[in-house]
Structure 1
């Protein structure tokens, strides 16, 4: 399950929080290169010095990358600008959206300028969550100074210093009120000082007893403001602004969410005094205010090690890794990240772009940072400094969770199961997910930990939220008797032993509230672990994730799945002669994709199902009537395999519960009526890129008789697989858009599996399909079965032979289990113990069901599936 490719994928795709950025230029100013030179994307230089930026390594690297963004055939700067101008004129917002892809939320210092830029909340349209503000305290102070000057009561510079005292009292009070208001503003999540640019980072940590130097500093500043734009750049006053902000943040600590102070450190334009931009100057100030968190911005380059030392020894210091991407070369970027990791806890490293004006600054920074982080973390794993688990933990902390905690954002991100990592790697992030879920769903009091056994029975344990939180934090664990591996639907055991247990680990990426039932609860799927915390071989979810990763790791093949949920809605009936209760058809005037008078009576139910699913973030692609009486189909979107099955299980539960509220039973029984078409659970499987589709499909066809042991997992399943009823017919074959073939090819690398129904444990069914495809790719198996455009059962032996169709589908569960028993290669891919236990359970289940008469067996299955 742990793999370098999964680490790479995580780093490249995990949503990120940009903890420091600035506003984007409006469309009208976006191409005004005279006022906003595009070269500023990769350089802090200004004026004449900026001309030389085009001969730097960062520039050449950025130009090549921008060529791909603009789809420009050349990295020539003039051609790039021309291509960019076309994009801006055609659809500027589309360019911005592409540049901000993967950004969950922006924290904007929106006081860099108030000219030619969009407002901070305008940026909301491009991110998953609403933009937050970082308040620049010197800009706030300048606004207060301007208001004071406009009152016209500033003494002349030659006046006695005492004449400025009343103005100082007014200014200090107004500034403090502005800061306090910002602390109370929920849109504000932090503050920023650019004192590094103005007077340097050697900030005086405490107040002087003598207030005259501060008063003189204020007098000089406000006097200068009467003849020019206010700029706060006099050391005693600038130091006071920082201290006063820290004092107010300290006082608000017990009543307000955490709001750190960001400080520009290191790298800047020529307005900065490089020697005084060393964050080491801040040590006394940091020590003076242990209650306030400090964020040292811009990697403090070239003083990264000094900043790292502060972040190591002071628990209230965080190091931001921004701005150097894309401002310095690739080698320098790697060096900066490695220096940051020398002694800094990975829980105190933050990511930002320092994106400003041009949306490409965000795109280049994110792209280059992800690439460098991937290279360094992979190196550390290969050298044994990180385990993959530790590297993943650190990566998502830096990209998302450190900022989420520090700024008290309470953001929740939906993560693909294959990334959020099944092995319960991310205990802290999992807790974050739980906390965010509880905050969004305060009425949820109980969590159901679910698991699916080999009979596809969904079993669960229920916990009060506080107890479940202990499980998520790994403060306790939940054991399940090993007998589950041999358990049948009625709790009888097919064999095995009652000794030993495994442990359920929740995967909070699957956490969704329960709806359409009288319960204040939510469900979460689980992984099975051994006593030592290792993945249990017999865990169906683990098996599916492992095979998904094998395809990705060894062949670069990414698999995805999507499901069609077919259900038959039944209504309760009573036999008047015996009083026996049963289930009957809800509609009889019913046909495929048609709305009859009877079918229309089902619309309230159908639409309620769709809307209820959407409320838990399951959005159907379509729904319609199917062929059998009371039968309807709901089509889910494609997702990664484990996530897709998780979603399928939740969607089925929702459909069942909504139907129950209408007094109906939603059943997955493969053929509830012998006189009508059966009920499948067709799966769409795709591989990307599709370059290996022939060998993948060849492997599937070669092992298909064994695959069917998992996809048609009950004797009743085989009653549906007949020629002429669009169920995939009776021969192992495939065909482009052929619905009478077990495998319908839809497009390159995309197939529909038709030999599949609702009795299957879908984790195992998809595992078997991917395992067979994997074996075909690994063996480079040739595809000898040709594209069949007919129902193979209607062809002659000679016609089938010409197409390479030689094998019939099993006609019973016993036959498919026999095929599996003789298929050692597939058993080894799925796990010998898993196959052994699964086979034992299914044979015992078959014996139990075959001992029942047909009516009893039908009712027994309808009640359970």
Structure 2
């Protein structure tokens, strides 16, 4: 592996194009372990979440940042974390990540984590917002609206809410699945569906309304992110295959709006195909990198198989413990160094080509797609 290439990748100010805030408070062992898994069930008493790829990665890569030897025990790690306190832990791990710009999606339990401005203050780098469509719709409903006025109120609220945002996100994969009718619903269908939803309450799950939110988002014109694949048990994994979005991708193509497929594990090869054949599709393997730990090199390698390199972005999808923000960057850098360095060592790529791809995926593609301007 080229030492020059590894040094370039290690020093690259990454753009984390899909991430959430870090935990603003100290965490008990129980709380910490529940936040380093996508399970929403309590951790059984006979096991620990540290005995996992992500757990071992924390003990290997985060322990030294907090002043411990690599491979510290969970007890040593959590004791050190408690002594330092949440503010110091966040500052150390976010700085060590080398992330130069955060695009923070704020629609999930935002009151428990740092806001974009809070992240910018702690990390000392820019942090912009990505707005979740479903969260805006649910706020419109909570504020009170009649069914026949819902579409107009949602559009007004979305435009107002996104005045300074860099992108939008849909969690239709969670709320229904990606196997929805891709065509925009009629105004009459939206009013009827809004009436049913507003009468019953709860979160927005009606596929007609979810389609309407997506098409209103496309009208807004900001890059539109979609959760794909791996997530907590609220997602039906076989209905979150990105190939199910093909109809929407084709109908949305004339809008020119970039569609960004997030996470994608275990469907990263499907996402690579879509990014290859459709000019409006981009993807990342963010969440899968953290949770595959020592095996994340294979995930990153598969993400580089089909898609043009201008269509692939970096993300961590970290939420909560700042360890996940740090690991997202560390494991991605490690994987890219090994994969691209292997191409160079085998004589398949030049060192210059490898460096170009690392910079594109790590920062330049996101800066272009989201209009962030030149990096530092």
The alignment's TM-score, normalised by the length of structure 1, stands at 0.41
Q: Does 1:410 align with 2:373?
A: yes
- Show CA shifts across 1:552-596 (max 9, x none): xxxxxxxxxxxxxxxxxxxxxxxxxxxxxxxxxxxxxxxxxxxxx
Q: CA deviation at 1:5?
A: 1.6
Q: CA deviation at 1:13?
A: 0.8
Aligned residue number for residue 316 of structure 2? 353
2: CA distance between counterparts of 1:90 and 1:223? 43
Structure 1's consecutive aligned runs of 4 or more residues displaced over 6 angstroms after TM superposition are none
1: CA distance between counterparts of 2:195 and 2:17? 35
2: CA distance between counterparts of 1:311 and 1:63? 35
1: CA distance between counterparts of 2:4 and 2:367? 23
1: CA distance between counterparts of 2:130 and 2:339? 30
2: CA distance between counterparts of 1:222 and 1:366? 42
Secondary structure of the residue that 2:144 maps to in structure 1? helix
Cα gap change, 1:208 to 1:189, in 2 (>3 Å): closer
Bigger fraction of residues in strand? 1
Aligned residue number for residue 296 of structure 1? 261
Q: CA deviation at 1:401?
A: 0.4
Aligned residue number for residue 6 of structure 2? 8
CA contact (8 A) 1:62 1:326 kept: no
Q: CA deviation at 1:239?
A: 1.7
2: CA distance between counterparts of 1:301 and 1:367? 18
Counterparts of 1:55-204 in structure 2 under 5 Å? 55-73=51-69, 75-88=72-85, 91-92=88-89, 94-100=91-97, 102-127=98-123, 129-148=125-144, 167-183=146-162, 185=163, 187-204=164-181
- Show CA shifts across 1:76-134 (max 9, x none): 2122111111111683554354344x211110001211323222212222445421110
**What is the aligned counterpart of 1:400 among 363, 366, 370?**
363
Aligned residue number for residue 287 of structure 2? 323
What count of residue pairs does the alignment treat as equivalent?
371
Q: Does 1:222 align with 2:217?
A: no
2: CA distance between counterparts of 1:267 and 1:89? 28
Q: CA deviation at 1:208?
A: 4.7
Q: Between the two structures, name the one with larger relative contact order (CA 8 Å, sep ≥ 6).
A: 2
Secondary structure of the residue that 1:205 maps to in structure 2? coil
CA contact (8 A) 1:190 1:407 kept: yes
2: CA distance between counterparts of 1:62 and 1:96? 11
Bigger fraction of residues in helix? 2
- Show CA shifts across 1:441-500 (max 9, x none): xxxxxxxxxxxxxxxxxxxxxxxxxxxxxxxxxxxxxxxxxxxxxxxxxxxxxxxxxxxx
CA contact (8 A) 2:39 2:232 kept: yes
Aligned residue number for residue 373 of structure 1? 336
CA contact (8 A) 2:268 2:285 kept: no
Cα gap change, 1:4 to 1:89, in 2 (>3 Å): closer
Q: CA deviation at 1:395?
A: 0.3
2: CA distance between counterparts of 1:90 and 1:111? 23
Q: CA deviation at 1:194?
A: 0.8
Structure exhibiting the larger radius of gyration computed from Cα positions:
1
2: CA distance between counterparts of 1:210 and 1:18? 37
Aligned residue number for residue 38 of structure 1? 33
**What is the aligned counterpart of 2:203 among 207, 231, 251?**
231
Aligned residue number for residue 47 of structure 1? 41
1: CA distance between counterparts of 2:112 and 2:123? 21
Cα gap change, 1:216 to 1:60, in 2 (>3 Å): same
Aligned residue number for residue 390 of structure 1? 353
Cα gap change, 1:195 to 1:209, in 2 (>3 Å): closer
CA contact (8 A) 1:44 1:268 kept: yes
Q: Does 1:206 align with 2:183?
A: yes
2: CA distance between counterparts of 1:203 and 1:89? 42
Counterparts of 1:480-491 in structure 2 under 5 Å? none
Secondary structure of the residue that 1:188 maps to in structure 2? coil
Q: CA deviation at 1:274?
A: 0.6
1: CA distance between counterparts of 2:337 and 2:173? 32
Q: Over aligned residues, Cα RMSD in angstroms? A: 2.2
Cα gap change, 1:193 to 1:375, in 2 (>3 Å): same
Aligned residue number for residue 816 of structure 1? none
Cα gap change, 1:76 to 1:52, in 2 (>3 Å): closer
2: CA distance between counterparts of 1:210 and 1:216? 9
CA contact (8 A) 1:99 1:359 kept: no
Secondary structure of the residue that 1:242 maps to in structure 2? helix
CA contact (8 A) 1:260 1:292 kept: yes
Q: CA deviation at 1:71?
A: 2.3
1: CA distance between counterparts of 2:197 and 2:26? 34
Cα gap change, 1:126 to 1:52, in 2 (>3 Å): closer
Secondary structure of the residue that 1:48 maps to in structure 2? coil
Cα gap change, 1:238 to 1:52, in 2 (>3 Å): farther
2: CA distance between counterparts of 1:325 and 1:347? 20
Q: Does 1:336 align with 2:299?
A: yes
2: CA distance between counterparts of 1:277 and 1:343? 20
Secondary structure of the residue that 2:226 maps to in structure 1? strand
1: CA distance between counterparts of 2:198 and 2:223? 28
Q: CA deviation at 1:55?
A: 2.9
**What is the aligned counterpart of 2:217 among 235, 239, 245?**
245
Q: CA deviation at 1:307?
A: 0.6
CA contact (8 A) 2:179 2:245 kept: yes
Q: CA deviation at 1:363?
A: 0.8
2: CA distance between counterparts of 1:177 and 1:5? 52
2: CA distance between counterparts of 1:116 and 1:394? 36
1: CA distance between counterparts of 2:21 and 2:187? 41
2: CA distance between counterparts of 1:270 and 1:221? 23
2: CA distance between counterparts of 1:93 and 1:328? 23
**What is the aligned counterpart of 1:17 among 9, 15, 19?**
15
Secondary structure of the residue that 2:178 maps to in structure 1? coil
1: CA distance between counterparts of 2:134 and 2:55? 32
Unpaired runs of at least 5, structure 1: 150-166, 250-258, 414-865
**What is the aligned counterpart of 1:311 among 271, 275, 281?**
275
